[in-house]
Structure 1
Amino acid sequence: MQNAVEQSLEIDRRPLHEEVADRLRAMITEGLLAPGARLNERVLCERLRVSRTPLREAFKVLAAERLVELSPNRGASVVALSRSDVDQLFELMGALEGLAGKLAAERRTEGELAEIRALHFEMLAAHARRDLPAYYDLNRRIHVAISRCARNDMLAETYDSVNTRIQNLRFRSNFNQDKWNHAVREHQQMLEALETGNGSALRALLETHLRNKRDAVLEQWPAIDPAAT
């Protein structure tokens, strides 16, 4: 039986395929792997410095998240959403975020509020230096943190499933500087509603925020994928 010292020295190592899945997920989010793009195993193995086994296991993880499509004949490719898919996913995401926000304003702790406030100020700094990847990561963490404050496991599970599918689109919605600036102002209002415990206001803000994200994405849709309908 291990003693306390031995247990404290243990290192929690994640399986390699999970690390690979994380990297591929980030590449899809940031557009480095475009919608519809075929995932060349040889190229990705060289780029990520891994063998084919963890890469293929990572493909399976992303396929379960509906980010990657696996075909017996074509191999793996990044899922390409249609315009209708985007409209419906953002509609659903807005409802989920709105409900999460309402519950979060009623159930959040002071510690959780302090954490979200700290993330918000870090996000403002990333916006000020025009660091979109850093901004986006902090933005994502804020939305997830708010959803967790709702303390509803079923809501969190559904939220994560839908949110994963639109990460690339949420990232792209900030390409327009004016819309990016407006999104930051919306986040300031969200924080204020969370601070005052105004669940109705936070719900409305989050629903509007997601509608604005959807509109920003669909406005540039021909540029993203001229063949999409």
Structure 2
Amino acid sequence: MQNPDIPDAQLASAQPDAPELALPKLARQRLHDTVVDHLREFIVEGQLAPGVKLNERKLCEVLGISRTPLREALKVLAAEGLIEISPNRGATVAQLSEAEIRDMFELMSGLEAFAGELACERISETELAQIKALHAAMLLSRAQNDLSGYYSRNHAIHDLINIAARNAALRQTYVTLNRRLQALRFRSNFQTSKWDSAIRDHEGMIAALEARNGPALAKILRGHLLAKRDAVLAERTLGVAAAEREA
């Protein structure tokens, strides 16, 4: 997920008017999708933090593009709820309220639990093998203290379980909601204890999938998502308290 050309110092400490990002110039092929993917990645990994005003000129320089494809990409991200576009203020990274965070994670816990039940009925041996391989790669990322690699594999495991549910309506709802939660899910792993807890959950997920035990997998997934909700809300409370002390 994290681009190796982007220094660590430019991560979540980004200030309004857009951070100083660095990225190789983009190829013209599939430019629109590539721009959307890079901007979404910046938001997920905190390089463009909630509330940051996007500076179009700087982003065009970073991505090596003109303003037309940039603005098209911003419209896509606005439709996904990742940014907000105002006629007077331009584009800013969206900020979720405490109530929105709570509601969305509770809904996501239900979606993932249901997907887990269906996946236990419908998953193929090939898909199960892919999930096991991703889990092994996730463990390696954990050993290397690679949060970006860990998260990308973690995300892929959840995504494969959802795909294995074979339910198009569920899939569409899941993808739409998960895009709004990705940045929060990423930040919920900042503490290594959270990584280790998530790994134990994932080991339980694989065991439940192997046993085709839908109720067990649903219970694990629901608890997994609600734990992330609690971690995000706790971090948010600490951030608000720190800001009040500095004020």
State TM-score, norm by structure 1.
Answer: 0.91
| Runs of 4 or more consecutive aligned structure 1 residues displaced over 6 Å after TM superposition | none
CA displacement 1:106-154 (0-9 Å, x = unmatched): 1101111111111111111111111000110111111000000000000
- Give secondary structure in 1 for the equivalent of 2:81: coil
Give the superposition deviation at 1:223.
4.2
Residue 144 (structure 1) aligned with residue 159 (structure 2): yes
Aligned match of 1:8: none
Structure 2 CA distance for partners of 1:15 and 1:225, relative to 1, 3 Å: farther
CA displacement 1:146-173 (0-9 Å, x = unmatched): 0000000000000001111000000010
- Give secondary structure in 1 for the equivalent of 2:49: coil
Residue 80 (structure 1) aligned with residue 95 (structure 2): yes
Give the superposition deviation at 1:222.
3.1
- Give secondary structure in 2 for the equivalent of 1:175: coil
Identity of matched residues, %: 54
Give the superposition deviation at 1:179.
1.6
Aligned match of 1:210: 225
5+ residue gaps, structure 2: 1-27
Which one-letter code corresponds to 2:188 in the other structure?
S
Q: Distance in 2 between matches of 1:143 and 1:224?
A: 28
Residue 51 (structure 1) aligned with residue 63 (structure 2): no
Aligned match of 1:158: 173
5+ residue gaps, structure 1: 1-12
Structure 2 CA distance for partners of 1:21 and 1:83, relative to 1, 3 Å: same
Which of 20, 28, 35 does residue 20 from structure 1 map onto?
35
Q: Distance in 2 between matches of 1:203 and 1:36?
A: 34
Q: Distance in 2 between matches of 1:103 and 1:62?
A: 30
Aligned match of 1:174: 189
Which one-letter code corresponds to 2:214 in the other structure?
G
Q: Distance in 1 between matches of 2:214 and 2:200?
A: 18
Structure 2 CA distance for partners of 1:79 and 1:225, relative to 1, 3 Å: farther
State TM-score, norm by structure 2.
Answer: 0.85
Q: Distance in 2 between matches of 1:27 and 1:152?
A: 30
Paired residue total: 216
- Give secondary structure in 2 for the equivalent of 1:77: strand
